[in-house]
Amino acid sequence: MRRRQFIGFLVFSISLVFVSLQPLLAAEATWKVGIASAKITPGKAIWQAGYGSRDRPAEGTLHDLWIKVLALEAANGDRAVVLTSDVLGFPKNMYDSICAELKTRCGLDRSQIMLTASHTHSGPVLKGALYDIYPLDDSQIALIEEYSQELEKTIIETIVKAFGQQSPATLWAGEGMTDFAVNRRNNPQAQVRELRAKGEPLKGPVDHGVAVLAVRGPDDNLRAVVFGYACHATTLGLYQWSGDYPGFAQIALEQDFPGAVAMFHAGCGADQNPLPRRSIALCGKYGFTLADAVQETLKKPMRPIAPRLGTALELVELDFEKTLSREDLEAGLKKNIYYKRRAERLLKQLDEGQSFAPSYPYPVQVWKLGDEQLWITLGGEVVVDYSLRFKAKYGPQTWVTGYSNDVMSYIPSHRVWEEGGYESAAFYVYGQPADRWAPEIEERIAASVGRLVETLD
Ligand SMILES: [Zn+2]
């Protein structure tokens, strides 16, 4: 066959194939996705969550706080919901109550519900969380509880709304990179700027990957982008509501893609800080840098995700090293104000006849989107070793999110547990009746992830 004829034949064959595939493609099952969001900026002056040094409630708004929802339905009707939020993390009482309500209203089990948080330190204190680190009087607690109840209602209504407006969509996975997260245990804040200026390497493990999930409509337009990064949202310490750098990143992406919703979830960044920090300019810079990393990922070829969905969850019992006794609590009365408040509260519970469990039901969740994309979500403030461990074991494209479902404490790896320091033992912040997890914490969590991944194979 002569060259010209051959090319003509090829073009003819390709167009034949194209034509014959068209009806198949049109008939192929797709995801159905519903997206909804709601503003949750508190209307009243309540306390902000994060930083024990705060001495008064919020005084204004830098930018609004949001919850955003992705209601997913696979081709066979399997469903799941992802919620992202500009809050520090949901406490157990809210997680339990939201799950119970979603069971009734939407028929969803816990494994199908992913409640994530940006861990902004400029969002509201929620019901029952962090009460021991602030001087909250009864009227402040009443405001927090009123807000939390309203937030729960908004979350349920927004999820119901998202399921009610599902339409066909395609899902795409990819990973970007940006390096503003610094291991805060290994790099004193004051030295970071100097080391960066000299081009010298910073120390300690980090995970600079940006997980990106794109949701596109039938005409390929971007409807939502869900992205995660492992770094504390602690650039700002102002008395103004804000989503910190994730808030700026979401605003930037929503401006760049009009009509699309940008959703942020925090990775395993419990030992990672955005450094240097403490200015709105730096906060905006980190947010825009992250938004750029997401944009770059969206421009490259991404992996299509087949419309199949697997969800699994365990509440795995994590042992405390030692549950606090009455004697421990009485000794705590003489320690600093945070220990003192916790001791007073827990002693009252003992006086009322309550006892403290020796372990905690810790949420470990694994989703499989399509045939390959693993998404592991863990409760609590998870240090970076976990995401590095799971990416090494399950592949670099694995997504690992912390601060999910129930944020009850820091979650140290075995390395951090042995080294000690703030992330290994900051239990007083969350008011748990112990000072430390038992040493096998990492292995227990990894075993749970392993079991869940197996069930999805
Ligand atoms: Zn934190």
In 3D, which of 84, 110, 98, 99 has the Cα closest to residue 215?
A: 84
Ligand 1 centroid – CA 426 distance (Å)? 10
**What are the start-end ranges of the H helices in 356-440?**
384-394, 414-419, 422-425, 427-430
Q: How far is the CA of 413 from the centre of ligand 1 (A)?
A: 15
Domain limits, the chain: 31-311+362-422
Peptide bond into 276 cis (omega under 30): yes
Instruction: Please give the single-letter amino acid code of residue 174.
Output: G
pLDDT of residue 14: 39
Tokens read off for 153:
């209602």
Q: Give residues with Cβ within 8 angstroms of 198, minimum separation 6.
A: none
pTM for the whole structure: 0.93
Tokens of 101: 């309500």
Compute, in angstroms, the gap from residue 337 CA to the centroid of ligand 1.
19
Q: 52 with 130: CB under 8 angstroms?
A: no
Can you tell me the distance from the alpha carbon of 253 to that of 273, in angstroms, rounded to the nearest whole number? 22
Q: How far from chain centre, in Å, is Cα 23?
A: 40
pLDDT for 105: 97
Per-residue pLDDT of the chain (457 residues; tens, 9 = 90+): 344 443 443 333 433 443 434 434 444 679 999 999 999 999 999 999 999 999 999 999 999 999 999 999 999 999 999 999 999 999 999 999 999 999 999 999 999 999 999 999 999 999 999 999 999 999 999 999 999 999 999 999 999 999 999 999 999 999 999 999 999 999 988 899 899 889 998 999 999 999 999 999 999 999 999 999 999 999 999 999 999 999 999 999 999 999 999 999 999 999 999 999 999 999 999 999 999 999 999 999 999 999 999 999 999 999 999 999 999 999 999 999 999 999 999 999 999 999 999 999 999 999 999 999 999 999 999 999 999 999 999 999 999 999 999 999 999 999 999 999 999 988 888 999 999 999 999 999 999 999 999 999 8
Q: What is the distance in A from the centroid of ligand 1 to the CA of 229?
A: 14
Residue 90 CA to residue 130 CA, distance in Å, equals 11
Burial of 250 (0-12, 13-18, 19+ CB in 10 A): buried
Q: How far is the CA of 381 from the centre of ligand 1 (A)?
A: 6
Q: Position 329: which residue type?
A: L
For residue 329, the tally of other CB atoms under 10 A from its CB is 22
DSSP 323: B
Distance separating alpha carbons of residues 349 and 155, to the nearest angstrom: 31
Beta bridge partners of 61: 241
Show Cβ contacts of residue 344 under 8 Å, excluding neighbours closer than 6 positions. Answer: 333
Element (H, E) at 264: strand 261-266
Q: Are 157 and 279 in contact (CB under 8 A)?
A: no
Q: How far is the CA of 240 from the centre of ligand 1 (A)?
A: 18
Å from CA of 284 to ligand 1 middle: 20
Contact (Cβ atoms closer than 8 angstroms) between residue 411 and residue 402: yes
* Residue 352: half-sphere exposure toward Cβ, Cα within 13 Å: 8
Residue with the two structure tokens 């299509």: 304
State the distance from the centre of ligand 1 to the C-alpha of 430, rounded, in angstroms. Answer: 11
The dihedral sign for the CA sequence 440, 441, 447, 450: negative
